[in-house]
Amino acid sequence: MMVKDWIRLIQARKWMKKTGAFLPAWHAYLGYSLDLFDLFHKPACPGCIARLYNLDETLLRRWIEVGLTLGHLEPKGNGKVKSKKAYRRYLSKNSPYSIGILLEEMLELHIPALLDYPSLINQNSKAPYLEKEYGGTVAQTSELLESYAFPKIAERIKKRKAGSLLDMGCGYGGYLKRIYNQYPRMRLIGIEINPNVYQEAYTRLKHTAVEVRHEDMMAVEENDRRMEMIMMNNVLYYFPRESRPSLFEKAADMMTAKGTLLVISPLSNAKHGKAFSAAFNSFLSVHHNLFPLPSIKELKEDSKTSGFKIKRMDPVVKEGGWYLIELQKQ
């Protein structure tokens, strides 16, 4: 074998090792999306499960083989297998601890978009982001951030002694519900443009004093009773850079003097999460109706233009480059 062949072989082996890291995510996603971890919550034979739930037995057995290799499943004798408790806990749709929706967003939304790069680059074109189709998935993944971000948000509410808060792009209303439970006397409003997401938020919050509206955040008016605090969570990438100062100005117009604007967003080229933010920017750039993440420099420029000053910037999820940015109206 020639030297160049050895070099190619070594490089191929390196890439095989790297792509092997994708296998656990694929296996976990499939188990989550088809409820396979739940189907094997007790020892069962693959053939029995395939017949009972009308599944392709060959493909099910391939999934089981991978799961046994990865340690997601365990053999139980007589050809039966069982899913491990930890994977049912975190990858079952019925578990309150499930993170499977994150895998669903990655495998059904992000990775397919990244795999479209060759054709889109060659065609010099972009695809539309289907907000109505994927809005619910994104709203659910945003909920995963809440347990990390809420203590920081609650700290800001307490420090500022805020009596009112408007959540612009409230998703399923998770933050509003948490705030209401802790501060039931606050005036709380959520606005959401996606009709399906709005309906879910309305359903979840209808037994509270939280007001939920189906509105465009750029069209909402609150001049009669200005808000002391406004939140924007994962909304900046829906606006091009040149429109973000207008978004901030809209918030300033609805806010009391010295009011507080809280922004949660991944940041580009920040101290933490550079790899994730770079990959996320690649996903955003595939679509003509999504826009690159803001950098810290851009946020400072846009906030100054709109009459705000950045008071504090804390990482929420370092691995993902998510930050909570606190801005004060000047």
Q: Residue 44: which of 90, 83, 9, 11 has the closest Cα?
A: 83
Is-contact 53 39, C-beta < 8 A? yes
Q: Is 131-329 assigned to CATH 3.40.50.150?
A: yes
Q: Where in the chain is the domain with CATH 3.40.50.150?
A: 131-329
Q: Identify the residue whose tokens are 């390196």.
A: 14
Q: Is 3-93 assigned to CATH 1.10.10.10?
A: yes
pLDDT of residue 180: 96
Helix (H, G, I), strand (E, B) or coil at 311: strand
pLDDT tens digits, one per residue of 45-94: 999 999 999 999 999 999 999 999 999 999 999 999 999 999 999 999 99
Helix axes 131-160, 174-182, angle to 10 degrees: 30
Dist. CA 192–CA 81, nearest whole Å: 44
Dist. CA 323–CA 132, nearest whole Å: 26
Q: Where in the chain is the domain with CATH 1.10.10.10?
A: 3-93
Across the chain, what does the average pLDDT equal? Answer: 92
Query: C-alpha angle with apex 215: 210 to 218, nearest 5 degrees?
Result: 115
Q: Identify the residue whose tokens are 């139980």.
A: 76
The whole-model pTM stands at 0.86
pLDDT tens digits, one per residue of 235-255: 999 999 999 999 999 999 999
